[in-house]
Structure 1
Amino acid sequence: MTDHHLTPMLRPRSIAVVGASQREGSAGHGMLAGLINCGFDGELHPVNPKYDTIQELACHATLRDLPGPVDLAVLGVNSTFLEQQLDDALAIGARSVTIFDTCYLDGESDRGLLGRLKAKAREASLPVCGGNGMGYLNMADRIPITIYDASDKMVPGGNVAFITHSGTVFSEIGLNDFRYRCNLIVSCGQEINGTVADYIDYALTMPSTKVIALFMEEARDPEGFMAALARAREADVPVVAMKVGASEKAKHFAKVHSDADAGNDHAYQAVFDRYGVMRVETMDEMANLLTLLSHDRPLARGGMGVVLDSGGEREMFVDQAEALGVPLAEITSETASRLRPHLHHALEPVNPLDAWGTAANYEDDFEGYFGAMAGDPGVGLVTFCGDFQWNPTTEKGYAKALVATRDRTDKPLAALINTPMSGMMTAGKALIDDGVMALCGTGEGLKAIRHAMAWRDRQTAPTSGSDAADPVVVARLRDLLSLIEAFDAEASKQLLAGFGFEPAFDPGSQVVKLTFSLIDDPQFGPLIALRTAGNYGKLLDEAVHALPGLDEDAAGRLIDRLQVSRLLCNSDGWPNAEHTAFARALSGFAVLAIELADLVSTFEVGPVHATDGRAVAAGIRVKTHKAV
């Protein structure tokens, strides 16, 4: 591991615990006990004027009484005493600090304490984890910095770095979900001086990190956040994110919770799209996806090979898989022949397979089904989909068949448990211990599998950057924007021509029309917005967003996210000439618009339609900064 500015915080060799206590059950006792029980072998200094010793360690009255500076000062005191304790930490040369309390004082309506703590820490370049957080758990190095004794949770061998703005998520999905193991969990709280971007960057220095998970309200350092995501992508480390605060009410609650500005959800989605972040909507989907991505067997090429013990649930499964676009493998005739001897005569050897006939030799039969699916070249994930509840004996038989099959194939195997409460805590945990993945809930499991397949396929897909803007064209457009006082018809015509659009004519009401815009997001800066216009726009009211710098392929994929894009395809489903013209024009607009972003606050072209392979625009609306 290379040295990092967060190393003193997250991998300290000397720790002072302010508020350490002898009283069992207290936070001060738990903080210290966790470190001792994990065998922390660095310097450990309890700080509390009430004691001479705590848990056989010499106790100091204040931080200023320590024999020297420490890597980490853990300030386990309430907000009334925080500012003085931070001053003491700075005075002794502490190299980092962790704060748990809310950083709010009664009677301070302007959050003055929080502002003062931020100012002092940032002026001193002092990394701070928190406040209003749960601290962190470094499982890789067995260092728990939190308000209770978490030593029993410090299981080695994890590979998921989990960074969260929620203390509950820190405790629940981070600590208690047995389907994957973490190497680092950070509750970053108000990010006094330590951002999500910083923690991502640190996690990427840990050799054990295989997946990064985010539960986030805000990227307080947008440029650093994008740079960290870019480094994760370059390192082939997938990032899974749950971004909350999309609705106006949730944005308000984010501000109350951690002083977070949840921002424009479209902008976050554009950032996630650019850097390949997999966005999830529920905690079950998050846990399922982390299970898939952290497993020692990545998905093989191909679709799902699915075995069920219910004909009715097969129909449910197929409906959901089709609706979500999760591919099911087309098994070969050889695979069908391998399935046939195990099947009841009334059942078909197909995928998904309704496999239950009778209880006679069912374990051997199911092992045969799983083995046949695993041997099919078109199957990338072998899955049993069931409930694991009504018959414990049968449940154990399915599990045995899955585990036996795992020993004879290098493909991953999973149990997709339709109703999570029915079997996750019994069969699910046993399967995980034996190397078979357990996924929770039909729909949430399928969404996670879709993400994991997209990541697998993206890993081998060629990438290309956008073309550079023609400097002559850029210079001409900048001259126009700086010289023109009023954007009359002639000026608009010149600008449209500079962007490669032909003069407009009325195409009628039944053609597809789009609007291209450049908007300025307060957090992430310039953003491309693509909106359906004309009659279809009135009907659909849809828009998608992207960061600037789109090549033609990326522009085409952005267009495909609009429902109206279905009208831009041939009968075989491939993009038609209009689609190609739109994509070419959008890519050109995105490249040029970013070159002009310093001159304009509003930039909108449209409605745009395509004809004979050409993009035609009805007009352009521009507001320069000098006109704002």
Structure 2
Amino acid sequence: EIEGIPCFPSMSDIPEPIDMAVLSVAGPRMEALLDEAIALNVGGVTIYDYCKIEGEDPNATTLLERLKTKASAAGMPICGGNCMGYYNFEANTHVSFQSPGQRKAGHISLIAHSGSIFVLPTSNDERFRFNLVVSAGQEISTSLDEYMDFALEQESTRVLAVFMEAVRNPDGFVDVLKKARAKRIPVVVTKVGRTEQSAKLAATHSGAIAGDNTAYEALFKKYGVICTDTLDDLMNTTLLLSQEAELGQGDLGYISDSGGLRELFVDTSEQYQLPFAKINEQTVAKLAARLPHGLDPVNPLDAAGSFTPDYANVFRDCVHYIMEDPQVAVGVFEFEARDEFIYMPDLIEVAKEVSRDCNKPFAVINSFAAALNGGIANDLMDANVPLINGVENAIKAVSNLLQYRDSLFAYEAESNTSVAVPPGSATAERISAWKERIASGTALNETESLTLLSDFGIPVATPTQTDNLADTLEAAATAGYPVVLKTAEPGIHHKSDVGGVKLDLNEASDVAMAYQDLSERLGPCVTVEPMVSAGVEMAFGMINDPQFGPMVMVGSGGIYIEVLKDRCFSLAPFDQAEANRMLNSLKILPLLQGVRGRPACDLKKLSHTLARFSILADALQDVITEIDINPLIVDANGCIAVDALVIGKTPELSTAPESLDHESEESPAEVEQSAALMS
């Protein structure tokens, strides 16, 4: 016995069935204990150890690999190894070598690959309240998506926070994101290892400008996941979303007790493009009648007048007026308060009343991130009022909430309408023929690449390939002047880089001179195309991610594609609504809409063509690794592809990256290694 608790020499000597066992031993003893747990049909296991043995035979299977194999065969769920366990506050079950203390239970589920992220939010400020916290570690047999799915099934979960390195089960991860969206439970993610490194093996511009994190960004956008950059952003966003409040239309309502802090908030809001609600005339009239002399009835509102007995009541009424306005979707109330002193304690009660009376997201903020107000924050959280410190932290959290709402509303609206496949897509017979052609191993030339696009309903400048001067002159005459001459020599992917494009050739003598130059420098094979009239140069691209499939890119085209990096990615396939959202995110959009008297481009046809391209990317993902359409000329009459490059899959490029089996916090070198592996 230890302090009256009976002890046993082994698991086998315990007289009752074991629901969960913590194997808190070092690596050399781990395998035998897991064998024993499997033999006893233990419900699950938690392992803290790193599961590596010094001096293991490098040519034999490692301890970690053997544990994975045995757990998989037995269907044994394991938390860890190299983890800190878990806290299930809903079930009052804490399995860790670190105590959570006396924290109050809440509605945030936090799943973290890093043990440090398990510790920091649960060992500091008590305003962050959890129903579940899991340190996933090496995921020996239980993957990130399975913890997330468990959290979604807990009645107390209102928001899911994830600190992740990588995804080891892509299909399961996508399924759980779908489930979260269907249940209207926000997922907030901080993804580490996202630093952009050039895709050195990429053959296309699209591949070169896709960073390590591009696939995750596209995945998160598709399923409405909120992306955050820091642990502060992750926790403040989940704190705000942990309220049980209705997400409605409208923008931000703001009330402050300081003119200077209001100016700071307004400046920072503009930086993050956070809009303030346009309050209606009735709200303005109510505010005007209640505010002290000299204060304007506007949103954002400064309601701090003379320090009279009516001071707190002015705030009480004005906060309610702002929050009741139909154009206000979320409200923030800023006033100076710290644990050792608050100049007007009644403002705390005003905030609590708002939470009781108004079913909209609402938070108290303090512009100073280092404010000492943990006690007040805890008290406010008892009344379901988050207190966020730091003006930037608050604005990011509110922006994330509104972004999630917009994504959710768009998803639900589109779910209630049937989205037709864009017409002009290739038939099943043509798709099969193209798959066979691409899988043959011989690279598609430009003529074939453009023909492929045409089969999927994408307008192209039809090329003619030749390999001698006579045929080149005949092709130019057939196409009609002016024409473009391009090298078609195999292996030259980016023709303009080697002077392989001759534009605006107006007569036979121009073609002859251009052909002579290309054939002498690069080789005799060329293509002849009609010269496309001037327009805005765009680019379409596709990168086939080994985990999440084809990503489609749209961006600025021409020679500036890799310089400007004005692009947007989305997972294929998608409809015209998503294509429009992608185009609207580009910096080049004003040029497409028409500036300085230039006619607007046909954005409807452009978005339709982009959606068709996404169908091509999805249909041929088994055989294609990259596609580049650059440039795609866009004008008032539509768009036309004038150059294309299609890269078929090879065994080397189709191999998926191995999963990670370490924690990112171990060392800077391992963090670097994780980023490299994830790319």
The interval holding the TM-score normalised by the smaller chain is 0.7 to 0.9
* 2: CA distance, partners of 1:311 / 1:457: 31
Q: CA deviation at 1:109?
A: 8.8
Q: Which residue of 1 aligns with 2:274?
A: 326
* 2: CA distance, partners of 1:393 / 1:287: 25
Q: Which residue of 2 aligns with 1:78?
A: 26
Q: Which amino acid aligns with 1:419?
A: F
Relative to 1, partners in 2 of residues 1:616 and 1:186: Cα closer, same or farther, differing over 3 Å? same
Relative to 1, partners in 2 of residues 1:395 and 1:84: Cα closer, same or farther, differing over 3 Å? farther
1:47-62 matches, within 5 Å, as 53-62=1-10
Kept in 2, the 8 Å contact 1:581–1:610? The answer is: no
Relative to 1, partners in 2 of residues 1:437 and 1:90: Cα closer, same or farther, differing over 3 Å? same
Q: Which amino acid aligns with 1:336?
A: V
* 2: CA distance, partners of 1:179 / 1:611: 55
Kept in 2, the 8 Å contact 1:130–1:190? The answer is: yes
Q: Which residue of 2 aligns with 1:191?
A: 139
Secondary structure at 1:416 match in 2? strand
Secondary structure at 1:213 match in 2? strand
Q: Which moved more, 1:610-619 or 1:269-278?
A: 610-619
Q: Which residue of 1 aligns with 2:673?
A: none
* 2: CA distance, partners of 1:397 / 1:424: 16
Kept in 2, the 8 Å contact 1:302–1:329? The answer is: yes
Kept in 2, the 8 Å contact 1:466–1:550? The answer is: no
Q: CA deviation at 1:293?
A: 1.4
* 2: CA distance, partners of 1:384 / 1:69: 53
Q: Which residue of 2 aligns with 1:526?
A: 550
Q: Which residue of 2 aligns with 1:548?
A: 572
1:494 aligned to which of 447, 451, 456: 451
1:605 aligned to which of 629, 634, 646: 629
Q: Which residue of 2 aligns with 1:473?
A: 427
* 2: CA distance, partners of 1:486 / 1:335: 66
Relative to 1, partners in 2 of residues 1:551 and 1:174: Cα closer, same or farther, differing over 3 Å? farther
Q: CA deviation at 1:548?
A: 0.8
Q: Which residue of 1 aligns with 2:436?
A: 482
How big is each residue's C-alpha offset from its partner over 1:426-480, in whole Å with a ceiling of 9 and x where there is no partner? 4323322233221221112111111212223343331257644777534224314
* 2: CA distance, partners of 1:101 / 1:280: 30
1:96-495 matches, within 5 Å, as 96-108=44-56, 112-150=62-100, 152-153=102-103, 155-156=104-105, 158-174=106-122, 176-247=124-195, 264-361=212-309, 362-389=311-338, 392-461=341-410, 462-464=413-415, 467-468=420-421, 473-483=427-437, 485=442, 487-495=444-452
Q: CA deviation at 1:291?
A: 1.8
Kept in 1, the 8 Å contact 2:225–2:404? The answer is: no
Relative to 1, partners in 2 of residues 1:311 and 1:438: Cα closer, same or farther, differing over 3 Å? same
* 2: CA distance, partners of 1:486 / 1:61: 67
Secondary structure at 1:523 match in 2? coil
RMSD: 2.8
Kept in 2, the 8 Å contact 1:466–1:549? The answer is: no
Secondary structure at 1:54 match in 2? coil
Relative to 1, partners in 2 of residues 1:273 and 1:57: Cα closer, same or farther, differing over 3 Å? same
List alignment gaps of at least 5 residues for structure 2: 198-210, 462-529, 653-679
Secondary structure at 1:604 match in 2? strand
Secondary structure at 2:544 match in 1? strand
Relative to 1, partners in 2 of residues 1:489 and 1:248: Cα closer, same or farther, differing over 3 Å? closer
Kept in 1, the 8 Å contact 2:594–2:600? The answer is: yes
Relative to 1, partners in 2 of residues 1:338 and 1:627: Cα closer, same or farther, differing over 3 Å? closer
* 2: CA distance, partners of 1:57 / 1:338: 66
| Corresponding residue pairs, total | 558
Relative to 1, partners in 2 of residues 1:545 and 1:171: Cα closer, same or farther, differing over 3 Å? same
Secondary structure at 1:204 match in 2? helix
* 2: CA distance, partners of 1:545 / 1:297: 32
The alignment-based identity, stated in percent, is: 33
- Larger relative contact order (C-alpha < 8 A, sep ≥ 6)? 2
Kept in 2, the 8 Å contact 1:183–1:209? The answer is: yes
Larger Rg: 2
List alignment gaps of at least 5 residues for structure 1: 1-52, 250-262
TM-score (norm 1): 0.82
After TM superposition, which residue ranges in structure 1, 4 or more long, deviate above 6 angstroms? none
Secondary structure at 2:8 match in 1? coil
Secondary structure at 2:645 match in 1? strand
